[in-house]
Amino acid sequence: METILGKKKSLLSLSLSPAFFFCAFFLCDLVGTSRANRTNQQQLDHITALPGQPPVRFKQFSGYVTVNEQHGRALFYWLTEAVADADRKPLVLWLNGGPGCSSIAYGESEEIGPFRVNKTGSSLYLNKYSWNKEANILFLESPAGVGFSYSNTSSDLKDSGDERTAQDALIFLTKWMSRFPQYKYRDFYIAGESYAGHYVPQLAKKIHDYYRPSKRPIINLKGFLVGNAVTDNHYDSIGTVSYWWSHSMISDTTYRAILSLCNFTHVDNSPGCDKALEYAMNHEFGNIDQYSIYTRTCMSSSANATRHHRLKKTFIRRRAYSYDPCTENYAEKYFNRPEVQKAMHANLTGIPYKWTACSDVLIKHWKDSQFSMLPTYKELIAAGLRIWVFSGDTDSVVPVTATRFSLSHLGLSVKTRWYPWYSTRQVGGWTEVYHGLTFATVRGAGHEVPLFQPRRGLQLFKSFLAGHELPKS
């Protein structure tokens, strides 16, 4: 769910490098860890089969990695290895946003993962367009408090923010690589959507800064891609309101009122701005899915209650080829089943709340949030990373106009001019390639591109991994 545009060291320690502090305080338990212990833990994390799972040809692993011993913070992961040639294909970390939403609920269960959950929440079926056809996919529930990830320090759930989330994710990856040494030095990419527009580049910067001195980094980061990504509070906000008006979701009067009353350069809006935005959402939008404005909504009372509860402080949260708007509900049924959690090595400590797709506690109490990701983009472009940004064009939460307006302020020169790209002889969207970044739209897709247009999403992913421009015919 996206926030609406705006919400002693000693003298000796100062002489030591940041890398020293990272190793000394977070990774000390790795020192002396034997190869046998690492292999044993990997075997313990192996999933033989999930309840109601169809037979598959790839391996799966899931479990916990402790990222802070003192607080008892542990992050839950699920690795689905590539269908073929897993030992040669790259590793891709997938992150969903929120902040506070689960990569298993969304990324794995209704977007890029190999499985979908049936309507009864009792079994799984295969996703024809799973991204593990092209890469090994690592789903991470981040930060602590999301999904099965937890902290033994309850206050951690009320003071999460961008900085700690990125730091914990870096610690997770470094420790995870020790448990799975076969992925060390492998080509590595990060992907995600929505508020992962913060998570992904922030983690990329952490990895780049920490491993930059190494000529052969353990985490061999090659690039990242983000979809419908929160990028810049100011420019995203202007682009979002423009989308509402240009797609006839709000009246001329409300559009002019928002532009007049809303500054969008501050974290907090004025009372007049909030009133105008609430009027638009509550009286002019109607009962639509803001994450996919042309598809039907889920009529489940629990789904609608969740959405309206979060409406006032957010530009909402989500959802068509054979599109089912209630898929989130099925996932919540399935992953709360004790036999499923046992098979996944999840909830070993008895978390005192149900597994949910998003954490209301984290969403309400999110602390630090970087106002603009554009300076981080500039740093990572200069570092030579492969960067792709894509947008489903029927999303009104973080719409294509918001992303285009934000990216335009990077001031990048054009390498390949705007053109339509194709998938199965149909226009899949439009794209423009800049020096340092590729932007692409996905035609007919909402906030979760691989959910609404799975074939086009997979084509985009394949082109990204190959480093090729999207097909022109």
Report the range of poorest mean pLDDT among 101-105, 184-188, 304-308.
Answer: 304-308
Residue that has been written with the tokens 């993962």 in this structure: 113
State mean pLDDT over 48-59. 97
Name the percent of the chain lying above pLDDT 70: 87
Q: How confident is the model at residue 267 (pLDDT cuts 50, 70, 90)?
A: confident
What is the separation of C-alpha 382 from the centre of its chain, rounded to a whole number of angstroms? Answer: 23
Mind spelling out the 3-state secondary structure of 302-352?
A: HHHHHHHHHHCCECCCCCCCCCCCCHHHHHHHHHCCHHHHHHCCCCCCCCC
Contact (Cβ atoms closer than 8 angstroms) between residue 112 and residue 457: yes
Taking 50 as the threshold, does the pLDDT of residue 11 lie above it? Answer: no
Q: What is the mean pLDDT of residues 77-93?
A: 98
Least confident of 191-205, 231-245, 321-335, 418-432: 321-335
Is the pLDDT at 83 greater than 70? The verdict is yes
Question: CB 333: neighbour CB atoms within 10 A?
Answer: 15
What's the N-to-C CA distance of the chain in angstroms?
35
pLDDT digits (tens, 9 = 90+) for 337-382: 999 999 999 999 999 999 999 999 999 999 999 999 999 999 999 9
The phi and psi torsions of 258 (rounded to 5 degrees) equal: -65, -45
8-state DSSP, 111: I
Choosing from 45, 237, 447, 463, the catalytic residue is: 447
Distance of CA 317 to the CA centre of its chain: 13
CB distance 412 to 380 below 8 Å: no
Examine the pLDDT at 29 and tell me if it is beyond 80. no
Q: What is the pLDDT of residues 133-148, one digit of tens each?
A: 999 999 999 999 999 9
**What is the predicted pLDDT for the residue at 27?**
46
Model pLDDT, residue 313: 36
Strand pairing category for 220-227 and 136-141: unpaired
Helix, strand, coil abundance in the chain, percent, nearest 5: 40, 20, 40
Query: What would the mean pLDDT of 279-284 be, rounded to a whole number?
Result: 96
Residue 387's pLDDT band, with cuts at 50, 70 and 90, is: very high
What sections of 45-161 are H helices per DSSP?
A: none
According to DSSP, residue 105 is labeled: I
Q: What integer pLDDT is reported at residue 323 of this predicted model?
A: 63
Token pair belonging to 145: 């408090």
Pairing of strands 73-80, 60-68: antiparallel
Task: Give me the pLDDT at residue 214, please.
Answer: 85
From 109, 194, 237, 391, active-site residue: 194
Using the predicted structure, report yes or no on whether residue 226 has a pLDDT greater than 80: yes
What pLDDT score was predicted for residue 401?
98
**pLDDT digit string (tens) for 375-384?**
999 999 999 9
265 pLDDT exceeds 50? yes
* DSSP 8-state symbol, 59: -
Out of 236, 289, 393, 395, which one is annotated catalytic? 395
Spatial contact of 169 and 205, defined as CB atoms under 8 Å apart: no
**Burial class for 215, CB neighbours closer than 10 Å (0-12, 13-18, 19+):** exposed
Could you please report the per-residue DSSP string of 12-31?
A: HHHTS-HHHHHHHHHSGGGT
The pLDDT assigned to 326 comes to 87
Q: Can you tell me the distance from the alpha carbon of 324 to that of 204, in angstroms, rounded to the nearest whole number? A: 33
pLDDT class of 161 with cuts at 50, 70, 90 = very high
Q: Which of 437, 438, 459, 463 is nearest to 449 (CA)?
A: 459
How many Å is the Cα radius of gyration of the chain? 21
pLDDT band at 215 (very low <50, low <70, confident <90, very high): confident
Please determine, for residue 205, whether its predicted confidence score (pLDDT) is greater than 50.
yes
Which percentage of the chain shows pLDDT scores above 90? 82
pLDDT of residue 38: 65
Q: Is 194 a catalytic residue?
A: yes
Tell me what pLDDT residue 106 has: 97
Q: Which of 88-92, 93-97, 328-332 has the lowest mean pLDDT?
A: 328-332
Mean pLDDT of the residues in the chain? 89
pLDDT given for residue 34 in this prediction: 60
Give CA–CA dist 358/102, Å, rounded. Answer: 6
Active site includes 447? yes
Look at residue 299 in the predicted model and tell me its pLDDT. 81
- CA atoms of 171 and 156, how far apart (whole Å): 16
Res. 14 pLDDT band, cuts 50 70 90 = very low
- C-alpha separations of 350 from 148, 150, 164, 245, 341 in Å: 10, 10, 24, 47, 11
Mean pLDDT of 454-472: 98
How large is the average pLDDT for residues 189-210? 98
- The residue whose two tokens read 């090595």 is 345
Strand partners, 430: 420
CA 276 to chain centre: 30
Cα–Cα distance for residue pair 459/149, rounded to 1 Å: 31
pLDDT tens for 430-447 read 999 999 999 999 999 999
17 is catalytic: no
Does the N-terminal peptide bond of residue 338 adopt cis geometry, omega within 30 degrees of 0?
A: no
58 backbone dihedrals φ, ψ, rounded to 5°: -115, 160
CA distances from 5 to 238, 263, 343 (A): 9, 10, 40
Q: Give 154's DSSP letter.
A: G
Q: Which residues fall within 8 angstroms of residue 141, CB to CB, at 6 or more apart? A: 75, 76, 77, 102, 103, 104, 147, 148, 149
Provide the whole-model pTM. 0.89
> pLDDT tier at 470 (50, 70, 90 boundaries)?
very high
| CA atoms of 106 and 113, how far apart (whole Å) | 9
What single string gives the DSSP state of each residue in 347-410? -TT--SS---SB-HHHHHH-----SBSHHHHHHHHHTT-EEEEEEETT-SSS-HHHHHHHHHTT
